[in-house]
Amino acid sequence: MVRFERRQGFFAFGNDTLGFQVRAYQLKPGTYRLVAHGMNCPKVPQEDERCLVDESGLLGTVERSRPSRGYPESAPTFEVQAGAVTYAGDFILTARNQIEWLEIPAEELSRAHRRFASMAPGPEPAIPENYRLKFGLTARTYEDDAGRRY
């Protein structure tokens, strides 16, 4: 299992979660699948499971729902081959509490191409249609089960 994180600073002036952050990771050869996503989640959620977190409040501890979800076997996959570079794309948490995929734009990808020009290209990721981003990247919020917005 591989865990990827993306953070936003506490003092966020504007929304820096909309920009692309192209990162390179060296992974063992094999096929990787989207298993789950979570926010402050102490475990990996099962398929369609929400993550509940205990929070301290003025009146004691309260159980809260956080944006999270486990994914089925049909979730996006990408293959890593020895000696090749795989461009897996960008996985985005949308307001529908689902990870959706977007191809990395050419201008962002060109920088990565220069860094890995000597490596053979790996296979394209396998992204089912229902995981492809359908709307443009805009700042949206997520509402949890308690009606709180993020």
Question: Beta strand 90-93 with 120-121: parallel, antiparallel or unpaired?
Answer: unpaired
Residue 87: CB atoms within 10 A of its CB come to 19
Question: Beta strand 120-121 with 84-85: parallel, antiparallel or unpaired?
Answer: parallel
The pLDDT score that the predictor gives to residue 97 is 84
Residue 85 belongs to some domain of the structure: yes
Residue 76 belongs to some domain of the structure: yes
Q: pLDDT at residue 59 above 60?
A: yes
Report which of residues 95 and 101 the model is more confident about. 101
The pLDDT score that the predictor gives to residue 120 is 94
Residue 10 belongs to some domain of the structure: no
Q: Which residues pair with 64 in a beta bridge?
A: 53
Residue 7 belongs to some domain of the structure: no
Question: What is the residue range of 96's domain?
Answer: 30-131
Say which range, 33-42, 47-56, 91-100, 131-140, has the weakest mean pLDDT.
131-140
Average pLDDT score over residue span 63-69: 85
Q: Judge contact between 17 and 7, C-beta under 8 A.
A: no
Q: What mean pLDDT value characterizes the chain?
A: 82
Q: Judge contact between 89 and 125, C-beta under 8 A.
A: yes
Distance of alpha carbon 17 from alpha carbon 12, whole angstroms: 10
Residue 6 belongs to some domain of the structure: no
pLDDT tens-digit profile of 22-53? 788 899 999 999 999 988 888 889 988 888 88
Q: Number of structural domains, the chain?
A: 1
What's the helix, strand, coil split of the chain in %, to 5?
Answer: 10, 30, 60
Residue 12 belongs to some domain of the structure: no
- Using a 10 angstrom Cβ sphere, with 0-12 exposed, 13-18 middle and 19 or more buried, the burial of residue 32 is middle
Residue 3 belongs to some domain of the structure: no
The pLDDT score that the predictor gives to residue 104 is 86
Q: pLDDT at residue 88 above 80?
A: yes
